[in-house]
Amino acid sequence: MRLKICGMRDAENIREVLALQPDYMGFIFYHKSSRFVGTELDEDLLKSFPKSTKKVGVFVNASQAYILDTVKKYSLDYVQLHGEELPDFCKNLKFKGVNIIKAFSVDSTFNFAKLHNYKPHCDFFLFDTKVGEQVGGTGQAFDWSLLSRYDNEKPFFLAGGVGLANAAQTLDLKQLRIHAIDVNSKFELEPGLKDIDKLSELIKILKPEEVEM
């Protein structure tokens, strides 16, 4: 199981997390988020990442120009679109060479049919928990049984309230094309600062074969 650790910004904490060799690391470029990178994100540090850890920039209804400038500035590998971006917006970014993860907030009323028009223009989907108007970082899990309504055609990231208490359950969802588990608030000392001990425990659960090596 691959792992994405999101909501990073502190340089020393980024180095500590990087030593755990996550598959993806996420950085939030959304000013309303408590994990917004602000002006403190270390450009040189991000450009020194090993190829094994992909850098994901998270955007919410941002302009195409801002996204493209940010991708270039930090050498981002993926862009995660976490707002109301339409398929054509994804198509235009993809045409410019951007790898795209399109996020959707899921609750019992979510219509998975709306994903169809996004499929040609996205590399992965991401399913998060819908909590009012809040965008990600809720710390709450949605009812994973709702994913039985998904046609499973496009691999996806599973986000929203994944913690040590329920991480093992994600391994039982073998019928689903889960590309990676996405964690954030359940593994924090404070917004934007990750708990290395808790993340180490998570890796033992998700990647036991790597821990044994």
- Residue 94 pLDDT greater than 90, yes or no: yes
Is 174 exposed, middle or buried, given 0-12, 13-18 or 19+ CB atoms closer than 10 A? Answer: exposed
135 pLDDT band, cuts 50/70/90, is: low
Please state the domain count of the chain: 1
Query: Rounded CA gap, 96 and 68, in Å?
Result: 9
| pLDDT cut 70: percent of the chain above it | 94
Strand 193-194 and strand 188-190: the pairing is antiparallel
Please state whether 56 falls in left (phi above 0), alpha (psi between -120 and 50) or beta. Answer: beta
Q: What is the DSSP letter of 36?
A: B
Q: What digits encode the pLDDT tens for the residues 58-77?
A: 999 999 999 999 999 999 99
Which residues, 6+ apart, have CB-to-CB distance to 98 below 8 Å?
A: 67, 68, 71, 79
pLDDT at 123 over 60: yes
Asked if 128 is an active-site residue, the reply is yes
User: Rounded to an integer, what distance in angstroms lies between the CA atom of residue 2 and that of residue 19?
Assistant: 15
- What is the per-residue pLDDT for 206? 94
Q: How far is CA 142 from the centre of its chain?
A: 16
Task: Please state the rounded mean pLDDT for residues 158-175.
Answer: 93
Mean pLDDT value across residues 16-36: 96
Half-sphere exposure of 9 (CA within 13 A, CB side): 19
pLDDT over threshold 70, residue 137: no
- The whole-number average pLDDT for the span 157-181 is 94
Q: What is the mean pLDDT of residues 88-116?
A: 96
The CATH number assigned to the domain holding 61 equals 3.20.20.70
pLDDT at 212 over 80: no
Catalytic residue among 6, 90, 122, 182: 6
Q: Compute CA distances 134 → 88, 111, 130, whole Å.
A: 24, 19, 7
In this prediction, residue 39 has a pLDDT band, given cuts at 50, 70 and 90, of: confident
Tokens of 18: 């990087």
Helix, strand or coil, per DSSP, at residue 185: helix
Alpha-carbon dihedral of residues 33, 7, 1, 142, nearest 10 degrees?
-20
Q: Domain containing 175: what range?
A: 2-212
pLDDT-above-90 percentage for the chain:
88
Asked if residue 128 lies in contact with residue 136, where contact means CB atoms within 8 angstroms, the answer is yes
- Catalytic position from the list 90, 122, 128, 182: 128
pLDDT of residue 113: 96
